[in-house]
Amino acid sequence: MKRVVVTGMGAVTPLGNNVDEFWENIKAGKNGIGPITQFDTEDFKVKIAAEVKNLDMSLYMDKKEERRSDRFCQLGMAAAIQAYEDSGLNEDTIDPYELAVIVGSGIGGMTTFQNECQKLFEKGPGRVSPFMVPMIIGNILGGTIAIKYNAKGLCHCIVTACATGTDSIGEAMRLIQTGAATAAFAGAAEAPINKMSVAGFTNMTALSTRNEIDGTSIPFDKNRDGFVVGEGGAILILEELEHAKARNAKIYAEVVGYGSTCDAYHITMPDPDSTGAAKAMELAIKQAGIAPSEISYINAHGTSTPYNDACETKAIKAVFGENAKQVPISSTKSMTGHMLGAAGSAESIICIKALQDGFVPPTINYTTPDEELDLDYVPNVGRAKELTYALTNSLGFGGHNGTLVFKKYAE
């Protein structure tokens, strides 16, 4: 199998609109959650979210393209442009048929869908935008990236709910390992902060209604009662190692393991026995060719819902055994909220930067330990630690479990 490395990264998040700003705020334990500004929340139980702030889209799209793109596509394109420029790739260094695009979105253009429905009901069918369909479909981000960068290889849209970003990176890794691509855009984008999405998640009791900015997204805390919705885009450039070396590319980390399973249990709830999540971790660690004890850090899915955090803790204990209490675990969703499909790719960037800097980020706003959740969740303050392997989990509605293992790069 060919070795796969990360040579470019881009991020637009509630904690910063580029990778460096994002990582510095994660290290510092900053909170990206605040009052919702994208719509009037007077009639809503949920009034807070983790919004992307002060993004200048003129750096990435002209006004015409921006008007014809849903916000999820805008956020994803900003991240993709950053990643491509960061990688140093260009049409002279890669065959367009060897450049793949594997990106997705959990719910796609929901804001556009909501707004066009309102036009239909209030003003009639003649007022629905002719751009509605390409604006709402989840694969339009991948198509837009491919058009901009003449990427003529495989272009697929992964949709596995909150595991989308993780699975996109994992499937792109497999493409490159087998020689089906030389490099790939991989990741996801999400823009769910609209009336329709927030109402839907609220009414299914997935979101916390506490509305305390520093006391609502509290993964692994005994008082957790639901997640805080977030938005953003995070894209990686994955590349075959020898190709990257031949063009003297900078290499951030190596992608060495990927595991994907389905609980086949329930449309939203995780399986209480946690075997699916455990199996995904086992598969990723096995592919990495290491023992569980060699994992230096786990970036947990850690949504702050009662079931998720308990089930994920149970799965970690099943895989790591006695060593489970020794490995530091953090949920950075305590700072970013839950970016849904984009969460896994944003958290992959966190893992890569953690490996580079030798630093484990915290789980902030952790105040009340849960007796049954007794692992090292790195409460409130991050810590310096030499790291070699970092593992990230993503667990999505529909029972989708995805795990990636990244290795600190060494020739």
What CA–CA distances, in Å, run from 21 to 26, 141, 259? Answer: 9, 24, 30
- Counting every residue written for the chain, the total comes to 411
CA atoms within 13 A on the CB side of 234: 31
Active-site residue, 243 included:
no
Q: For residues 278 and 280, what is the distance between their CA atoms, to the nearest angstrom?
A: 5
DSSP tag of 93: T
Q: Which amino acid type is present at position 240?
A: E
Report angle CA 244, 349, 313 to the nearest 5 degrees: 130
Q: For residues 118 and 353, what is the distance between their CA atoms, to the nearest angstrom?
A: 43
Of the candidates 380, 347, 378, 344, the residue with the CA atom closest to the CA atom of residue 215: 380
Q: For residues 339 and 353, what is the distance between their CA atoms, to the nearest angstrom?
A: 19
Catalytic residue among 73, 155, 301, 311: 301
Catalytic residue among 73, 162, 311, 351: 162
β partners of residue 102: 156, 186
* Residue pair 283/261 in contact by the 8 Å Cβ criterion: yes
Active-site residue, 301 included:
yes
Active-site residue, 266 included:
no
Quickly list DSSP for 27-69. HHT----EE--SS--TT-S--EEB---S--GGGT--HHHHHTS
What CA–CA distances, in Å, run from 108 to 15, 96, 139, 161? Answer: 21, 26, 8, 10
Catalytic residue among 73, 243, 311, 338: 338
Query: Which residue numbers are catalytic?
Result: 162, 301, 338
